[in-house]
A and B are shown apart, each in its own frame.
Chain A
């Protein structure tokens, strides 16, 4: 199978699957080594961007998915009415910031930083699959530890957690302000 054909098959797979598909899964279907599939997928992603296709290949961690370009929203929204885009409340965003940068983190730590109880916002985040329980802290009471999900990456357009801006960037900003 030549590369062109492989790319073509992968495009069909991504279209049919709709949901994020793991690179390993694609490799299994095609019977090609994982590494090769990954490099082809990354190449395809660049090609889609280079050719300014209306469909983009979105990557997060090891998963790939087709999606539209955010800058086309203005036009797309005119044909898809009533889409439910509830954005997150400030409280939920604050909580999520702490979860993202301090994970794994307990609810008590989050409450301490925010100075208020964060039960409700944490519940919202888990309900929207942006955060999840990732284990328990080995301390009295065995409190739950929370972390972010793949959905979190997709939601904020990140490829991996490494893409989060380093926390020091925000600290520097503060010093500049003064």
Chain B
């Protein structure tokens, strides 16, 4: 034995309301508020009977409909616009909202058909040219004096020339996840494909490595990157996620 369950899906209260208007072939500018309110509320009841939780948005709309219904019973409010008397229709605001919603719903259907066409296009991923680069290219321009200068800089920074200052305060390293996430994002954006070991320098503290790893998980979750590993314990390869 099989069950056939069919439940109409509505994107929200506006969608349901439009559906009722279509079904009853109603002029959107002259909605019979009684009929529509009754049908709207009975739809919500039906969902409740099916043990479906009715979202609060639908209940707000039901309340709005009932409010309009009660206002319709009162004498129409009259305001002066440019010296002329105009009868305020309590339905007006709702009608405007419905028309606007319908507009975007129609647009979304036209986008849907473009999507159907253009999802059938195939693109080629970027060529990996890293194999063709000379790994020593960067070193070609380095002169002996550059090395000497660099060494001096390092020595100065570590103050080996002044033993008196050879004392350091050991601070707890603060590693922020945001910083690591941004770092990975930037590197992936620039290089397209990176290894986890590229990010982690040899001096990186344990907490920094953990922070990077957490950032990696976060970026996988937000579908910015995907990560693969060819063998157990081998390097993680991080790639920017194509759409």
Contact = CB atoms under 8 A, between A and B. Distances in A.
A19 B122 contact: no
B116 to A, nearest CB: 7
A170 B107 contact: yes
Interface string A154-178: 1111100000010100110110001
Q: Chain B's interface: helix, strand, loop or mixed, by majority?
A: helix
Interface stretch (A1-9, A24-32, A44-52, A94-102): A94-102
Most buried by A among B99, B129, B243: B243
Contacts of B112: 87-88, 90, 93
B112 to A, nearest CB: 6
Contacts of A174: 99, 102-103, 106
Contacts of A80: 122
A174 B109 CA distance: 14
B114 interface: yes
B11 interface: yes
Interface string B90-123: 0000000101111111111111101111111111
A141 interface: no
A29 B83 CA distance: 68
A93 B243 contact: no
A71 to B, nearest CB: 8
Contact of A116 (B27, B57, B119, B124): B57
Interface in A19-74: 19, 56, 58, 65-73
Q: Chain A's interface: helix, strand, loop or mixed, by majority?
A: helix
Contacts of B15: 115
Interface residue tally of chain A, by bracket? 35 or more
A21 to B, nearest CB: 10
Contacts of B232: none
B117 A115 contact: no
16 contacts: A15-B127, A17-B126, A58-B121, A67-B123, A68-B121, A69-B121, A70-B117, A73-B121, A87-B115, A87-B116, A93-B111, A113-B101, A114-B104, A116-B13, A127-B223, A157-B121
Interface of A: 15-19, 56, 58, 65-73, 76, 80, 85, 87-88, 90-91, 93-94, 96-98, 100-101, 112-117, 127-129, 151, 154-158, 165, 167, 170-171, 173-174, 178
